[in-house]
Amino acid sequence: MSESAADGVPREITAMVSQLLRTLDTLATIGRRMHPPRFSEVVGLLGDQDDALDEAVGRFRDAPLPSRLAGIKEQLAESADLALSGCLELRKAARSSAGAQGVGFRGLGYYTLAVEALYPLAGVIPAVNQWFISPAQHDDDQLIEALLEPPNPGTGVHHVRNEINSRGGYSVYVPEYMTPDTPAPIVMGMHGGSGHGRTFLWTWLREARSRGLILVAPTSTGATWNFGDPDRDLGLIEGALEQMRSAWNVQSDRMLLTGISDGGTMTYVGGLIETSPFTHLAPIAASFNPVLLEISDPSRLNGLPIYIVHGMLDWMFSVQVARMAKNTLGSAGASVTYREIRDLSHTYPTEENQLIVDWLEG
C-alpha cells in the first residue's frame, strides 16, 4: 500500500484528513464570525468545501484499506459525516427566515460533534495531532512528540454524568503527558444559555492541551445557569474543582473561572462572592448588574484579576454593559483587563484563549 512520505500515514487517509480539517476550519470561522444580520454572507464562506468533503468521503469509503485500519476509517468517516451535516444545516438556515437564531446554531453544533469524533485520532495521525495544538505551539517539537506518546493514566477526555442529553454533570480534559505531581493551572469553562459542558469543552481544549492546563466544563443543572438560586450550580462547579484538586496538582494561585454569555454572567455570580475559590475571572460576552457587588466583599474585589471580553457587534448584551462592568469593577478595586473586539458578535473568540492563558500565567 502506498504511504504518504510526509508522515507515514496511508495516502487515502492523508487526503481525507486534509479535506476534513479544511472544512472544520471553515466551520470554525463561520462560528466565530456569526452575526444575524450577516448570516447568509457568513455561511457563504463555505464555498465548495462541503462538496469537496463529500467527494473525499466517497473516495475514502471505497479505498481498500487493511482491516487493521478499520477503526481509524470508521472514526474519520463519522467525523466527516457530522461535519457534512453541519454544512447542510447551515445552508438550510441561510435559506430560512429563522436564520442564525434557528437551525443555524444547530448546524454549528454539528461542528463540535465532528471535533469530538475526530479527537481520538489525535494520538495516531500527526496532522490531526497538530490540528489540536494551538497555532503558537505548532513548532514545539517536544510538545508534538509528547502528545503522540501513549497517554498517562487518568488523562485525556472524560465525562462525569455528562451525556449530551443530561444536565448537572461535567466534562474534563487533562493533557495526556501530565502526571499527578505536575503543577497545572485549572480552567473552569461554562457554556452559554441552553448549552452543554460536553460541547463547550472543545472551545478550550487546544489551549489546555498545548499549555498544560486542566480543563473542566460543567453543565448547568437546568437549561441554563440558575441566577435566582445559584447554590445548586455553584455546588456542582466547586465540587468538580475539588475532585480535580484531589487528583491533580492544581496550582492554587491559578484557578480560572470563565464562560460565555450566561456562563460569563455566572462567572460574575460565582466568582465575586467572598467564599469563591477561584483566583481569576474571565467573563466573555456576559451580562452584568452592579447589584452583584452587594454579594461580594471589598477584600474579595481588591486586586481580583478580571479579564472582560466583549464584542462591539453583540446583539444580545450591548457592549455598553461590558463597559459598565469594567468601570464598576475597576472602581471597586478589581484589577481589570478589558478587551473590546470590533468584529465580534455574540460568539466565542477562540483566538482570545491564548491571551487569557498568558494573563493567567503572568
pLDDT digits 0-9 by tens, 8-57: 578 889 999 999 999 999 999 999 999 989 999 999 999 999 999 999 99
Average pLDDT rounded to a whole number, residues 288-310: 94
> Same domain, yes or no, for 114 and 165?
no
Q: What burial letters (b/e) apply to 288-311, b meaning 16+ CB within 10 Å? A: beeebbeebeeebbeebbbbbbbb
Residue at 246: amino acid letter: S
Mean pLDDT, residues 163-187 taken together: 97
Same domain, 232 and 352: yes
Report whether 123 contacts 151 (CB < 8 A). Answer: yes
3-state secondary structure of 218: strand
Domain boundary (120, 137, 161) is at: 120
H helix runs in the chain, sequence order: 11-33, 39-43, 49-62, 70-94, 103-118, 126-131, 141-147, 197-211, 231-247, 262-272, 298-301, 319-331, 352-361
Pair 215, 282 in one domain: yes
Q: Identify the helix (H) or strand (E) that includes residue 171.
A: strand 170-174
Q: Determine how β-strand 280-284 pairs with β-strand 214-218.
A: unpaired
Domain membership flag for residue 3: no
Q: Encode pLDDT of 101-113 as tens digits.
A: 555 577 889 999 9
Whether 157 and 286 map to the same domain: the answer is: yes
What per-residue confidence (pLDDT) applies to 100? Answer: 54
Same domain for 301 and 233: yes
What would the 3-class secondary structure string for 328-347 be?
HHHHCCCEEEEEEECCCCCC
Domain boundary pick from 77, 98, 120: 120
- Together in a domain, 169 and 113: no
Number of compact structural domains in the chain:
2
Same domain, yes or no: 155 and 87: no
Residue 286: what pLDDT? 98
In sequence order, what are the beta bridge partners of 337? Answer: 307
What pLDDT is recorded for position 68?
84
Residue 158 lies in a domain: yes
Residues 215 and 284 in one domain: yes
Structural domain range at position 255: 151-361
Residue 76 falls inside a structural domain? yes
For the residues 320-342, what does the mean pLDDT come to? Answer: 98
Flag whether 129 is in a domain. no
* Any domain includes 144: no
Mean pLDDT of 301-316: 97
CATH of the domain at 244: 3.40.50.1820
Residue 103 pLDDT? 53
- What is the pTM (predicted TM-score) of this model? 0.94
Residue 174 has pLDDT above 90, yes or no: yes
Distances (CA, A) of 276 to 91, 129, 301, 304: 44, 36, 11, 11
Q: Are residues 356 and 261 in the same domain?
A: yes
Mean confidence (pLDDT) of the chain: 93
167 shares its domain with 218:
yes
| 6 within domain boundaries | no
Q: Could you tell me the CA-to-CA distances from 309 to 29, 202, 352 in Å, in that order?
A: 18, 19, 8
Range 78-86 average pLDDT: 97
Tell me, yes or no, whether 183 and 116 share the same domain: no
- pLDDT band at residue 7 under the 50/70/90 scheme: low
- Domain annotation covers residue 95: yes
Residues 231 and 87 in one domain: no
DSSP β-bridge partners for residue 5: none
